[in-house]
Amino acid sequence: MTELPMFLSRRGLLGGIAGLALAGPGIAAPAPAGRVRLAGWSKPISEITNILAEPDKGFFRAQGVELDYLPGAGGGDAVRNLLSGQADVAFTDPGSFFMALDKGAKLVAIYDIYPQNVFNVVSLKSSGIRKPADLKGRKIGVYSLSSGTRQNLLVLLHQAGLKESDVQIVVTGLLNFAPLMQGQVDATAATDTGLAVGLRKGIGQVNVMPVREHLNMSSDLFVVREEALREKRALFKAFLKGYRDSAAWMMAHPQEAADLAARRAIDGTQRDINLEVIRLRNVASLPEGKDAASRLGNFDLVALQKGADAYQALGLVQRRIKVSDVVDTSLLPGA
């Protein structure tokens, strides 16, 4: 159990990012690659400031990509928008990806957005909830039933030998710390950024159970349809280059990003909170190991396979998913 999120421990790695963020409005755009409709798991919030910065910074435009962002309410929403043809790329969690594959969807992951598991379950100290087993019989908030908060909650419950039916899940939306403070739920499943905002808004003393202590796999991936990947390889490669440059910019210039979030993000009204959220996301974007900054987007296939196996053990998927068959690293910048 951890009491506060730690986002400064890998700050030294961020120094090597500055040289990567080369694209921008001052660089002449190449011949148009095309339009990419990106289905997100969220509304335009501060933790995706690097995407929201496109009108100002033009990272995707510099690669010939015209970017459209489609808001969602959970990774499942992003996958549904992808499968329905409303989007070209889904910004989704591995659980939603695995469950779609299990149902027969032909999907491929092409970029690991956040290699670190950023999910947790939070309770007030007064609740007496200190470990996963203490959640039995309790009301627990999640962003939505199609979100990574629910799926990572199930992973945590599994560690204690509990099932979803052993708790009462309550859909609270993104602002899920208010129901916790008001006693409507006993605990809430959230992300590190959600917890940071909750602490800033006076949630009080809390107990935090990070899911990464039990399963540290990626939190979010870029996923595309198999058929579209065959047809639009050049477009998706350009999209990933634009995204990598936008992520590198946010790492190299968090203060500028925090200022921009105040104009572009629906939750960006407090600059100090923007900055903390952005720093947390910067750390979550870094792969483990040396030269992490130069390997943005790289997959940890071993950790991802452990995640797929855990979802099968949970009964969330029925068949074994061989991760190496549904990941394509050939479009990563520098590949």
pLDDT in tens, 72-124: 989 999 999 999 999 999 999 999 999 999 999 999 999 999 998 999 999 99
**In-domain check, residue 13:** no
**In-domain check, residue 76:** yes
Q: Are 138 and 186 in contact (CB under 8 A)?
A: yes
**Segment 61-67 mean pLDDT:** 97
**In-domain check, residue 313:** yes
Note the pLDDT of residue 3: 35
- Coil, strand or helix at 9: coil
CA angle 60, 325, 297 (to 5 degrees): 30
Residues 238 and 265 in one domain: yes
Which band of pLDDT confidence, cut at 50, 70 and 90, is reported for residue 173? confident
Last residue of a domain, one of 190, 213, 236: 213
Which band of pLDDT confidence, cut at 50, 70 and 90, is reported for residue 23? very low
Note the pLDDT of residue 108: 98
**Which residues form the domain of 132?**
119-213
- According to DSSP, the β-strands at 168-171 and 220-225 are unpaired
**In-domain check, residue 171:** yes
291: tokens are 């030269």
Please, is 210 exposed, middle or buried when counting C-beta atoms within 10 Å of its C-beta (0-12, 13-18, 19+)? buried
Residues 228 and 104 in one domain: yes
pLDDT digits (tens, 9 = 90+) for 276-286: 999 999 999 99
Instruction: Indicate the pTM of the whole model.
Output: 0.86
Last residue of a domain, one of 178, 213, 248: 213
User: Hey, which residues does 92 pair with through a beta bridge?
Assistant: 221
**In-domain check, residue 5:** no
Integer distance in angstroms from the first to the last C-alpha of the chain? Answer: 38
Amino acid at 113: I
**In-domain check, residue 335:** no
Any idea what the CATH number is for the domain that residue 244 is in?
3.40.190.10
Residues 109 and 232 in one domain: yes
Q: Select from 143, 87, 118 the least CA-distant residue to 215.
A: 118
**In-domain check, residue 334:** no
More confident residue, 55 or 159: 55
Residue 1 has pLDDT above 90, yes or no: no
Residues 197 and 148 in one domain: yes
Q: What is the four-CA torsion angle of 230, 231, 235, 238, rounded to 10 degrees?
A: 20
Residues 29 and 63 in one domain: yes
Residues 209 and 146 in one domain: yes
Residues 198 and 184 in one domain: yes
Q: Give the number of domains in the chain.
A: 2
